[in-house]
Amino acid sequence: MPSGKRARQQRQEAAKTPPPVRSKGGTSGQRKASPKALGIAGGIVLVIVIVIVLAVVLASGSSGGSNTNTGALPTTGNSTGPAALPGAQEANALFKGIPQEGLVLGNPAAPVTMEMFIDVQCPICQRYEVDSLPTIVKKYIRSGKVQLHLQPWAFIGPDSRSGRLALIAASFQNKGFEYAKVLYDNQPPNSENTGWLNDSMMGQIAASVDGLNVDKVLSQKGDSGAADIASKVDQLAHAANVQGTPTVLVGKTGGKLHDIMPPGYAPTLQITQQALDAALANQ
């Protein structure tokens, strides 16, 4: 089942859950402190507040007002650095040496094209990226037989929209595929629309990609260039009648691409390979 349907089912189930009941404590049996006791307590609280304020001011002054989260990130991504996320080395090695231009991976003259629509929050996309894509990259793309077009779509929620813009920004440096792989390798379960994919996490993902300028990714994800590409992906998804993610289309390069799965079903490695082999056999 596509992730969009799964997300709608989760929201419908959540709507049936009654909200938590607020505690209703009565006042008739409460004890009241004397004015003198209240005055002493108030003085103590004031002293504590002053001490806390002074501590915060002194701490800010010693740090120079820097943002510790931002300061912890390197200027340039490094898969072996202290800021790198788990699996970063493997993700970078998977694509090393393969031609990459924006959101296109592989030999520009490859006879077969594979187009993949993903949502950065989609758990089924994560499964496909982690379990199936490495085999496809090693067997078909690295060999020069197939080129892969990545289409970061956004339909699950707000985190999908902001997250795909960061992926697109990474593609401006021809590192979008590494960025997506690190993202999926570190996506927590049941994380859709939880706020997990925030600016801090996007920065950590960028810091895990070798040679990627981290500051550029975080700044360019808000530029009109990233928004324009996102809009084009939306148009492509509409034209191809994409109903969910991941959706994989395969066909002759320059010709019409076809969805390898019937509506409502996610692609598998076996079916993807069958579709690619058939397309290559028809060249």
Query: What is residue 76's three-state secondary structure?
Result: strand
Percent of the chain with pLDDT over 70: 75
Residue 73, domain member (yes or no): no
Please report the pLDDT score of residue 72 as a whole number: 83
Residue 49, domain member (yes or no): no
Name which residue leads in pLDDT, 281 or 72: 281
Please report the pLDDT score of residue 114 as a whole number: 98
Q: Is the pLDDT of residue 129 over 80?
A: yes
**pLDDT tens for residues 244-274?**
999 999 999 999 999 999 988 999 999 999 9
For the chain, the straight-line distance linking the first and the last C-alpha, in angstroms and rounded, comes to: 33
| Structural domains counted in the chain | 1
- In this structure, of 5-9, 155-159, 223-227, the range with the lowest mean pLDDT score is 5-9
Strand arrangement, sheet containing 100-101: 100-101, 104-105, 146-153, 112-119, 247-252, 258-259
Percent of the chain with pLDDT over 90: 73
Residue 264, domain member (yes or no): yes
Measured CA to CA, the distance from residue 25 to residue 19 in angstroms comes to 18
Residue 78, domain member (yes or no): no
CATH number at residue 251: 3.40.30.10
From residue 186, give the alpha-carbon distance in Å to each of 120, 223, 251: 11, 26, 31
| pTM score over 0.85 | no
Residue 111, domain member (yes or no): yes
Domain encompassing residue 92: 88-281
Please report the pLDDT score of residue 44 as a whole number: 45
Residue 21, domain member (yes or no): no
Residue 64, domain member (yes or no): no
Check residue 51 and report its DSSP letter. Answer: H
Measured CA to CA, the distance from residue 27 to residue 100 in angstroms comes to 69
Residue 23, domain member (yes or no): no
